[in-house]
Each structure stands twice: as structure tokens, then as C-alpha cells.
Amino acid sequence: MNLGVLISGRGSNLRALIDACADENFPARIAVVISNRKDASGLSYAREAGIDTLVIEHTDFDSRADFDNALHVGLTDYGVELVCLAGFMRLLDPEFVSRWHNRMINIHPSLLPSYRGLKTHERALEDGVRFTGCTVHYVRPEMDSGPIIIQAVVPVLDDDTAATLGRRVLGYEHQIYVEAVRLIASKQIRPSGARVTGKDLDL
């Protein structure tokens, strides 16, 4: 299955997908990495791995629709079958989301539907929750919503800061993103909502 990975920054989830795809038995490959920022440091992981990259900066377009259209053209030019949002910091228009309905997934650093949006770890610490985690889900027009594919539950420790908690969660993000892609590419999961739990995954 051909993947298109969309990033805006660091790209550690992209790197996890690149590493997974390096195994010839993994059922997906990355056809293109697209960033909406030319200075996204994650682009270097793609370049080092010899993967084509496109920089499509939203500031170069008059409207969100034009920007989304350029993204769509980039993805279809590369024969992308599954779009993986990996720290892509632009809201996508409902029309773009519907064009990629059930063919676009996202990774989010919380146990959705809790803590949609930004600063998830800060808010979890403020609330004093004992567990948080991360979620891979199909993308729907409303931000950080859509059928859940996989979640990992991560404990919050007494002396955690947003940084230490964020690092712990990120380690699980890398695992569940790879696992979600593997399940979709090997047709073991459908968007109709079959849930995968940690027990099934042996995480």
C-alpha cells in the first residue's frame, strides 16, 4: 500500500514509519512525504531514506481550498492510497477530508475523545489524571475525531512534567502508528470501527 505522510515539524512518527517500511515484509511503503513548512526538520529523515518530498506551503496560496487542492494533486500524482497525518499542523477543509474518507489517518497524543487539540499533556497533568495515552484514528472533518483504530494507555507518574510525559507517550505513538498502518495495509481492520486493544497487540 502506498503511503503519503504529511508533516509540519520534527517528524519522529514519520521516522518510525520509515523504519517500519524498510522491512520488506511490511505491507506498505512511503511514496511521498509532504510538508507545509520548508523548514520542517522531519524532511531530512525522508531525504536520507531516499523518499521523495514535496514542500507545499500554505502561505503560497490565496485560499485554504487552493492549498488543499495542491495537496490532493501531490498525493494523487504519487499514487497515494493512505494519507498519514504525522504532526501536520493545518486543519484540512471538509471537502479534502471527504475526498480521502477512510483513506486518511492521524496520530494524536491523548486518549481521544479526551484532550482534543493542543497541549494535551499539560491539560492531563492539570487535571491530575493517572493515565493518558495516544490514539490513531481515521480522520473526519471535526478536529481529532473519527473512528478509533488503536489506543495505547500510558501511566502518568507523580513527578511528571509535560516534557517527561510527552516523551513517554511519544514512544508509544511510534509503536501504534506503525501497527495501525500494518493493520490497514494488510486489510485486518476496516473503518467501520473494529477496535484494536492493547491486549490484541501485545503492547
Does the annotation flag 104 for ligand binding? no
Does the annotation flag 89 for ligand binding? yes
The number of beta carbons lying within 10 Å of the beta carbon of residue 148 is 18
Query: Residue 138 to residues 31, 34, 101, 199: CA-CA distances in angstroms?
Result: 20, 19, 8, 21
Does the annotation flag 2 for ligand binding? no
* Beta carbon of residue 41, minimum distance to ligand GRF (angstroms, whole number): 9
Query: Residue 154 to residues 112, 118, 165, 181, 194: CA-CA distances in angstroms?
Result: 13, 18, 9, 21, 22
* β-sheet bridge partners, residue 85: 6, 106
Residue 108 is among the residues annotated as catalytic for this protein: yes
Question: Which residues have CB under 8 Å from 171's CB, separation 6+?
Answer: none
4, 35, 82, 87: which one binds ligand GRF (CB under 6 A)? 87
1, 2, 10, 129: which one binds ligand GRF (CB under 6 A)? 10
Query: What is the size of the binding site for ligand GRF (CB under 6 A)?
Result: 14
Tell me which stretch binds ligand GRF (CB under 6 A): 73-81, 97-105, 106-114, 150-158: 106-114
- Residues constituting the chain: 203
12, 36, 132, 151: which one binds ligand GRF (CB under 6 A)? 12
11, 74, 133, 146: which one binds ligand GRF (CB under 6 A)? 11
Instruction: Determine, following the binding rule CB under 6 A, whether residue 18 of this chain makes contact with ligand GRF.
Output: no
Nearer to ligand GRF, 79 or 162 (CB): 162
Does the annotation flag 36 for ligand binding? no
Nearer to ligand GRF, 10 or 64 (CB): 10
The number of beta carbons lying within 10 Å of the beta carbon of residue 53 is 18
Sheet containing 104-108: order of strands: 53-55, 29-35, 2-7, 82-85, 104-108, 131-138, 148-155
- Rounded distance, CA 39 to CA 197, Å? 36
Active-site residue (options: 101, 108, 137, 174): 108
Instruction: Determine, following the binding rule CB under 6 A, whether residue 9 of this chain makes contact with ligand GRF.
Output: yes
Any idea which residues carry the catalytic annotation?
108
**Residues in contact with ligand GRF by the rule CB under 6 A:** 7, 9-13, 42, 86-87, 107-109, 170, 173
